[in-house]
A and B are shown apart, each in its own frame.
Chain A
Amino acid sequence: MRLNSKVVGVIVLVVMLGGILWTTQLGWWQTESGGRGAGNHDGASESPPEVTTLRGAVSGYDGRGLTIAADNDGQAIYIELGNSRYNRSIGFAPQVGERVTAQVFIPNNKTSYNAVTVTQDSTGQIFTFRNASGQPLWEGKNAE
């Protein structure tokens, strides 16, 4: 039995392209089994990150992150939200001076804060950016 290059090409195309599309469309590129060393590039891990609460007034917003003047010492703190397109899609558009409460954590490989949720104190509306594991909601199957 002999195979010509066209048959080999079809087999490789179906298996590899199918495999890539299959795993990416099903969101398996985003999942991992967790445990020792598990985590994603955004610093999230399977074990829930240690979340702290920050309160203050918005002093700046660049689409991807929020700067607030913290209530306790007035220090400017930058909170990374992540993806500007996602932020727009959930209607997050804070105004300077607006008071917010943010649930944040510091990822393993960073020193700045990542937001899990941000609450507009005046309306009570909660905007969620990451899940309890710290994984971004705009990536992979989290996005669906």
Chain B
Amino acid sequence: MKLPKFQFFHKRSIWARKVLQILFFLLIAFISVNHTLVRNGGGFDFLSSASLHALCPFGGVETMFQLLTAGTLVKKVRDSSVILLDLVLILSLLLGPVFCGWVCPLGTIQEWIGKLGRKWFGNKMYNQFIPHKLDHALRYLRYGVLAWVLYVTFTSAELAFQSYDPYFALFNFWTGEVTITALLILESILLLSLLVERPWCKYACPFGALLGLSNLFRFFTIRREAGACKFKGDACSTLCPMNIDISRKSVIRDHQCITCMECTSEACCPAKGAVYLGLGGME
């Protein structure tokens, strides 16, 4: 009798996610470049020339307190940020932080650089360099960053985070509006991505911190059927970019899940239907 071919890392691709990541990365990059061109008298008419602030849903978070208490927006934040935030929150309630895993260009570029690191160090070593206890503690740092950003934004009535924001630096480094601090943070993140997958998302992203909370009550969650997990491997845990120990859980409600679906049976899991995105379920 011929045994089924066992592939420990049965790596198929969530190509829809990769296509969307490329699409949104290019869209934001082109709009940012067009914004600069328009300000300098050129630019393309068919493309929006909105500033990055206007396209960033996190601006909606930063301005929320002022919007609710005074009915106004923090300087540089636009109505579009608030609308995009609403859409992201609706998506998060339904599917979890898909904005992080499928849309955010800063997450995308970390992931692209991470592929290089994964190639160099291999799947077993890459993304496992930080000691587990330290890694676990550092993951709560981003809530501190979120609290700090909200506090300084409220007290200054300005986008104080812009001076440190690697996302702003990534799409504005050519404008002269980016601080050295933000550029250094961006460089550090990109370099660190060679060792750790999505270091900014895991440890410091204030928007990721907020969206991560949606994992606790989202409608569709990543679920694992223990009975269908016949290979007893841990490909799902090893390949999870956020180091979530999926192979020991039945429902993933971890605050770090970004719904990338790389753990599912559509991607790395070799057992059909063992790991999937399904409705409801408690951890």
The answer to whether B71 and A139 touch across the interface, beta carbons within 8 angstroms, is no
A-B CB contacts (within 8 Å), total count: 151
Contact (A36, B157) CB under 8 Å given A1-B279, A30-B78: yes
The answer to whether A29 and B50 touch across the interface, beta carbons within 8 angstroms, is yes
The answer to whether A139 and B72 touch across the interface, beta carbons within 8 angstroms, is no
Q: How many chain B residues touch the partner (CB < 8 A)?
A: 59
Tell me, yes or no, whether B171 is within 8 Å of chain A by CB: no
Chain B residues closer than 8 Å to A87, beta-carbon distance: 41
The answer to whether B95 and A29 touch across the interface, beta carbons within 8 angstroms, is no
Nearest-neighbour CB distance to chain A for B13, whole angstroms, equals: 9
The answer to whether B75 and A37 touch across the interface, beta carbons within 8 angstroms, is yes
In chain A, positions 1-43 with a C-beta closer than 8 Å to chain B are 1-6, 8-13, 15-17, 19-20, 22-25, 28-41
Nearest-neighbour CB distance to chain B for A121, whole angstroms, equals: 26
Complex Cα distance, B41 from A22, in Å, reads 25
Contact (A33, B103) CB under 8 Å given A20-B27, A28-B78: no
Chain A residues closer than 8 Å to B158, beta-carbon distance: 37
Tell me, yes or no, whether B16 is within 8 Å of chain A by CB: yes
Partner of A24, one of B17, B77, B80, B220: B80
Contact (A29, B41) CB under 8 Å given A1-B279, A9-B20: no
The answer to whether B95 and A33 touch across the interface, beta carbons within 8 angstroms, is no
Closest CB pairs A-B (n = 10): A35-B72, A9-B16, A84-B41, A37-B157, A29-B54, A23-B80, A29-B50, A24-B48, A37-B75, A29-B80
Q: Which residues of A does B touch, CB under 8 Å?
A: 1-6, 8-13, 15-17, 19-20, 22-25, 28-41, 63-64, 82-85, 87, 138-140
